[in-house]
Amino acid sequence: MNSQYPFEVASVWEKCLHVIKANVPEQSFKTWFEPIIPAHLHGKTLTIQVPSQFFYEWLEENYVHVLRRALDYAIGREGQLEYSIIVDTGGDRQPPIKVQVPTHSPDMMEAKRKAAEPHLPPPPKSTDASELEMYLNPSYSFDNYIEGDCNRLARSAAMAVAQRPGVTSFNPLLIYGGVGLGKTHLVQAVGNHIKVHAHGKSVLYVSSEKFTNQFINAIKNNTLQGFTDFYMKIDVLILDDVQFLSGKEKTQDTFFHIFNHLHQSGRQIIMTSDRRPSELQGLQDRLLSRFKWGLTADLQQPDLETRIAIIQRKLQMEGINIDEKVIEYVAHSVNTNVRELEGVIVSLMAQASLVRRDIDLELAKSVSKNIVTSEERTVNIDTIQEIVADYFELTVADLKSKSRKKELVYPRQVAMYFAKELTPLALKSIGYHFGGRDHSTVIHAIQMVNDLMQEDDSVKDTIQRIRSNFGG
């Protein structure tokens, strides 16, 4: 490509990199900024070359501010950025296609970013519906919320509330579940649905943290009346992560009054929490008892089928096609929560776009390895297989093979035993990672190892010694 770009572009980009480097973690710098090629400079417009559309979107989503700061420094306030995307058409013979992305003024980029951001600035003065809409992120919808056993009740209750806010007996509606299981998505979907279908109803989504901050500011600025008036006019109030109100007595008092007012006048209240109401310590009993008036529904960890559907949906939205085998692998490997699952998909796309290769099983393995091992206390199943194979002087392929030779069966059982103990994987998924065995084989293996440990101290010893290799 054009390696001998003019001196000026190079030095401007050098300056930008200088600022960027100081502002982003080293790994991100390597991943997202080193591959960029400064293309040209026309007046105050700098054009940079990026490897894919996805890469460009990623930069825009995540690094707008840093890029702005860099431009300010290198070119000045009027500095503009243009992206040129190189789409790899496969063969080396064909020249890359350049797509010129229209210039984004920094203000436009900012506006775009804001529009996509779920929680936002202090409450507007009026409850003008158009102003409130800013609080909702339109990308969260029922359409792209995959249904499964793990979320059926919560989803249908949310749907009922979305169709008839304030009218059903699901008032308040409280959705609870662990981190990354889709609470925010679901309640935002309710808000978006109402916004589109029930014109004139004002919907407000606010995180409990934001609510608390607004409350504190209202006290400081002596505008508490305005604050409560504002909230008492809302038709549908969505308060995310109420566990955050724990121990904040004054905020709870005010919320209690707002809650009562809204509820009495038939307005809809929707809340989320990361734990069941009975475990919400630090929340006043009178508030908790209000929560019981409506419906409490939980979100569980998604089962395998739901995980597969979520991955497929996500890829479809990104316009990416990958092998079923890869999808299956990821679904079997990441079962903690949907956010992690999405994280793996995003990294996969990022990696694929960086090194310009297809998303294949190898890539999926290396990517999910990094992500899965970052999970606290969990050891990756690949690592377990490697360590156990090493210990018995076998290969991982031996452990996965169909062979039922005695010298393979025992190590394989030991590896399964550790997989169960050290990873959050379901038996079915463990079997999958051992050459597609079924879950009863895994149960049997675990049983065998347990029995042997009871009967034979040397087995106990072996297990102990292998365990010490997992660093915990």
Helix axes 361-374, 324-333, angle to 10 degrees: 10
| Token duo for residue 310 | 């979520």
Q: Reading across the β-sheet that carries 295-298, which strands appear in turn? A: 203-207, 236-240, 268-273, 173-176, 295-298
Query: Which residue, 13 or 140, has its beta carbon nearer to ligand ADP?
Result: 140
Which among Mg ion, ligand ADP, none contacts residue 237 (Cβ within 5 to 8 A by kind)? Answer: none
Phi and psi at residue 50, to the nearest 5° = -125, 155
- CA distance to 112, 240, 294, 431, per residue, from 266 (Å): 34, 20, 12, 52
Q: How far apart are CA 317 and CA 136, in angstroms?
A: 20
Q: Which of residues 69-88 bind ligand ADP (CB under 6 A)?
A: none
Phi and psi at residue 274, to the nearest 5° = -85, 0
Instruction: Decide: is 345 part of the binding site for ligand ADP (CB under 6 A).
Output: no
Residue nearest to ligand ADP (CB): 182
Beta carbon of residue 143, minimum distance to ligand ADP (angstroms, whole number):
10
Q: Which one of 15-23, 141-149, 184-192, 409-417 is the stretch in contact with Mg ion (CB under 5 A)?
A: 184-192
Query: Which residue, 272 or 462, has its beta carbon nearer to Mg ion?
Result: 272
- CA distance to 169, 178, 216, 369, per residue, from 207 (Å): 24, 16, 14, 33
Neighbours of 337 (CB within 10 A): 18
Which among Mg ion, ligand ADP, none contacts residue 146 (Cβ within 5 to 8 A by kind)? Answer: ligand ADP
Residue 363 near residue 376, CB atoms below 8 Å: no
Instruction: Decide: is 185 part of the binding site for ligand ADP (CB under 6 A).
Output: yes
3-state secondary structure 365-382: HHHHHHHHHHCCCCCCHH
Q: Which one of 163-171, 177-185, 282-290, 388-396 is the stretch in contact with Mg ion (CB under 5 A)?
A: 177-185
Q: How far apart are CA 43 and CA 400, in angstroms?
A: 61
Instruction: Decide: is 244 part of the binding site for ligand ADP (CB under 6 A).
Output: no
| Token duo for residue 444 | 């049997």
Which among Mg ion, ligand ADP, none contacts residue 53 (Cβ within 5 to 8 A by kind)? Answer: none
Contacts of 464 (CB under 8 A, 6+ apart): none
Please give the DSSP secondary-structure letter assigned to residue 104.
B
Instruction: Decide: is 437 part of the binding site for ligand ADP (CB under 6 A).
Output: no
Instruction: Decide: is 190 part of the binding site for ligand ADP (CB under 6 A).
Output: no
Residue 109 near residue 82, CB atoms below 8 Å: no
Residue 103 near residue 80, CB atoms below 8 Å: yes
Query: Which residue, 179 or 216, has its beta carbon nearer to ligand ADP?
Result: 179
Residue 331 near residue 428, CB atoms below 8 Å: no
Query: Which residue, 180 or 431, has its beta carbon nearer to ligand ADP?
Result: 180
Residue 150 near residue 300, CB atoms below 8 Å: yes
Residue 40 near residue 6, CB atoms below 8 Å: yes
Beta carbon of residue 431, minimum distance to ligand ADP (angstroms, whole number):
25
Query: Which residue, 238 or 387, has its beta carbon nearer to Mg ion?
Result: 238
Instruction: Decide: is 339 part of the binding site for ligand ADP (CB under 6 A).
Output: yes
| Interface residue with ligand ADP, options 342, 360, 398, 421 (CB under 6 A) | 342
Instruction: Decide: is 273 part of the binding site for ligand ADP (CB under 6 A).
Output: no
Q: Which one of 139-147, 192-200, 369-377, 408-416 is the stretch in contact with ligand ADP (CB under 6 A)?
A: 139-147
Q: How far apart are CA 423 and CA 225, in angstroms?
A: 52
* Three-state DSSP class for residue 27: helix
Beta carbon of residue 429, minimum distance to ligand ADP (angstroms, whole number):
19
Q: Which residue type occupies 450?
A: N
Q: Which one of 42-50, 92-100, 140-148, 446-454 is the stretch in contact with ligand ADP (CB under 6 A)?
A: 140-148
Instruction: Decide: is 181 part of the binding site for ligand ADP (CB under 6 A).
Output: yes
Instruction: Decide: is 184 part of the binding site for Mg ion (CB under 5 A).
Output: yes
Instruction: Decide: is 208 part of the binding site for Mg ion (CB under 5 A).
Output: no
Instruction: Decide: is 335 part of the binding site for Mg ion (CB under 5 A).
Output: no
Instruction: Decide: is 151 part of the binding site for ligand ADP (CB under 6 A).
Output: yes
Instruction: Decide: is 189 part of the binding site for ligand ADP (CB under 6 A).
Output: no
Instruction: Decide: is 182 part of the binding site for ligand ADP (CB under 6 A).
Output: yes
Q: Which of residues 297-326 bind ligand ADP (CB under 6 A)?
A: 310
Which among Mg ion, ligand ADP, none contacts residue 401 (Cβ within 5 to 8 A by kind)? Answer: none
Beta carbon of residue 120, minimum distance to Mg ion (angstroms, whole number):
15
Instruction: Decide: is 145 part of the binding site for ligand ADP (CB under 6 A).
Output: yes
Q: Which of residues 160-179 bind ligand ADP (CB under 6 A)?
A: 177, 179
Residue 189 near residue 156, CB atoms below 8 Å: no
Give the number of residues in contact with ligand ADP, rule: CB under 6 A.
16
Closest by CA position to 325, among listed 317, 314, 333: 333
Query: Which residue, 237 or 310, has its beta carbon nearer to ligand ADP?
Result: 310
Q: Which of residues 44-83 bind Mg ion (CB under 5 A)?
A: none
Contacts of 87 (CB under 8 A, 6+ apart): 52, 53, 96, 97, 99
Residue ranges that bind Mg ion, judged by CB under 5 A: 183-184
Residue ranges that bind ligand ADP, judged by CB under 6 A: 144-146, 151, 177, 179-185, 310, 338-339, 342
